[in-house]
Amino acid sequence: MKLVSWNVNGLRATLGKGLAEKMDALAPDVLCLQEIKAKPEQVADLWLASWPHAVWNPAQRPGYSGVLILSRVAPLSVSTGIGMAEHDTEGRVATMEFEDFYLVNCYTPNSQNELARLPYRQEWDAAFRAYVSGLAEKKPVVFCGDLNVAHQEIDLARPDANHFSAGFSDEEREGFTQLLGAGFIDTFRHLHPDTKDAYSWWSFRGGARARNVGWRIDYFCVSEALMPRVQEAVIHPDVTGSDHCPVSVVIA
């Protein structure tokens, strides 16, 4: 099964930039999108409608956040949120259950400038860890999405300049360490431990993408028991249309 994840930074805008053709070229069985910034009734699109299974979780706030899972494979069940009202208004999580695993699509909150939202981010990290850990007690878990953290110095172009920046603070990195410590593996880094200059997000400023001054903040992580079945984990920087690029895994 091929799984693809992409923060599209606006579903309607990215559809206008060839999302359908680009995703058809990648040929996922399941596609996880983040930051869709739309409700389903706002998007009349034949390509989206061609997917037989979908779970939308838009934010209550218009034009903000939101996640969507599209699947060619019939899920056993679907759900939205993590079951905690204080965290479930911003459209950040959707889950599909398949025979062998749960798939969780996540758009993690950004800590914002000067880490203004870091306290909430730390609450979120703990709550999300509890959510996926709870699922993992039933069957293995795959979670993916824009997790808004570069875990190690190898995961961003300029670590020395960003130790107090959102996405690379000590607290956020420790939160991700704890998430992996709960029994999950970062598939890309596991398969490519020494690969440098592999990024999934670039600022729109200063020609960052052309110069590959980026961050790896988009992930596929899996329960340890699933890792032997992960055949590949790939970043697709050639796919444009957002400030992020897609990432993918193939699970046997």
Distance CA 169, CA 111 (A): 9
Distance CA 150, CA 106 (A): 15
* Strands 102-107, 93-97: pairing kind: antiparallel
Catalytically annotated residues: 107, 146
Give, for all 252 residues of the chain, the pLDDT tens digit. 999 999 999 999 999 999 999 999 999 999 999 999 999 999 999 999 999 999 999 999 999 999 999 999 999 999 999 999 999 999 999 999 999 999 999 999 999 999 999 999 999 999 999 999 999 999 999 999 999 999 999 999 999 999 999 999 999 999 999 999 999 999 999 999 999 999 999 999 999 999 999 999 999 999 999 999 999 999 999 999 999 999 999 999
